[in-house]
Structure 1
């Protein structure tokens, strides 16, 4: 059975760097899927995903991501998905996990706002660096409700230490989501 890790959090939280470390050091064949590439592939009609008018586009992109994850999982690969996957986008992943019989862990990297802004604004183009957008995305992950135990405060952690915490979290089984 394949294992899927949804590694999420606001822009600037270190998802891509940490996902790369987790996937590279994995004990089984593992695919690192960066959701940003699915958005960057839209060449005409692209709407920044955090804008109000992007809802339908985001639904289509999430469906494409879920389909891709399913193909790799069905092929025997574990998948580390890095991207902004808030609780509002979990239903399609849960449905696919149930149908595809793969396990799924959900880990939210959540540094404090100042750290998120520092990290986010220091990134190169084409990454999101706008302070208002970064602040809004940070706020979207500030209260996860029932999923609050899935958040890891990474304010004081560098990438290797964060990757170690993510591996430990997934291994504990406490971050599994039910399908």
Structure 2
């Protein structure tokens, strides 16, 4: 735009309300000097590859960390005390082993030795020992500690045998029968000493009565050809099945 005289006019700027005026110099008051340009945004980083989702863990075999009470039944020489102790010692959770024979032998003076024959004294001490074992088992279970008891329970005496254990320990008791061949129990009995060793005739009689457990619905393990480690593993597997489908007894 030119002045009427022909001289060029200074540039004008538009203010508020549409008014225009000369463009102020760069450092004039009210002049907002543009800052340096913003740096360009960095290109997006590629997402790191996510780790593969692990496949679901295989379920634990056997009883795992389940708190439970077990009654291991078997004739003299079946290995039930050794197997029970081995199984209890290798569980991933606290587990106690309660042996009826050990508790019976707490009686020192006046011990009613069953080798001398069963009478009112031996029967009374047996019942007392079983109640003591049941009391201990309930205390362990109440404190979250599993337990396994062992006893030579006869199938033809359900009230004082299996039924008695159920009353003393509780309805959740899981019985399992350990029943190797007669030759095996005779051989193992011959290696015992003291009150634990019985005559061959008595061992054979007890073993014969134990055969009544077949057909009872209880888990039965023939550990004739098993070592202690294998028997304990088979026992744990049998208990896992019993937990999933408790036997009726």
Fold match, TM over 0.5?
Answer: yes
TM-score, structure 2 normalization: 0.63
- Partners of 1:123 and 1:49 lie apart in 2 by 15
Shift of 1:123: 2.2
Q: CA separation of 1:145/1:18 partners in 2, compared to 1, >3 Å: closer, same or farther?
A: closer
Contact 2:131 2:168 in 1 (8 A): no
Selected match of 2:146 from 78, 102, 112: 78
Runs of at least 5 residues in structure 2 that lack an aligned partner in the other structure: 1-65
Contact 2:77 2:186 in 1 (8 A): yes
SS where residue 91 of structure 1 aligns? helix
- Partners of 2:215 and 2:143 lie apart in 1 by 32
Q: 1:39 — aligned with what?
A: 104
Structure 1 window deviating more from structure 2 (43-52 vs 19-28): it is: 43-52
Q: 1:140 — aligned with what?
A: 209
SS where residue 32 of structure 1 aligns? strand
**Structure whose CA Rg is larger:** 2
Q: 2:118 — aligned with what?
A: 52
TM-score, structure 1 normalization: 0.85
Superposed CA RMSD: 2.3
Report the number of matched residues: 176
Higher-RCO chain (CA-CA 8 Å, sequence separation at least 6) = 1
**TM-superposition CA deviations, 1:15-48 (whole Å, max 9, x none):** 1111111101112210011111111111233223
**Residues 1-179 of structure 1 mapped to structure 2, 5 A cutoff:** 2-49=67-114, 51-53=117-119, 54-87=122-155, 88=157, 89-98=161-170, 103-144=172-213, 147=216, 149-173=218-242, 176-177=246-247
Runs of at least 5 residues in structure 1 that lack an aligned partner in the other structure: none
- The structure with the greater share of residues assigned to helix is 1
Q: CA separation of 1:32/1:62 partners in 2, compared to 1, >3 Å: closer, same or farther?
A: same
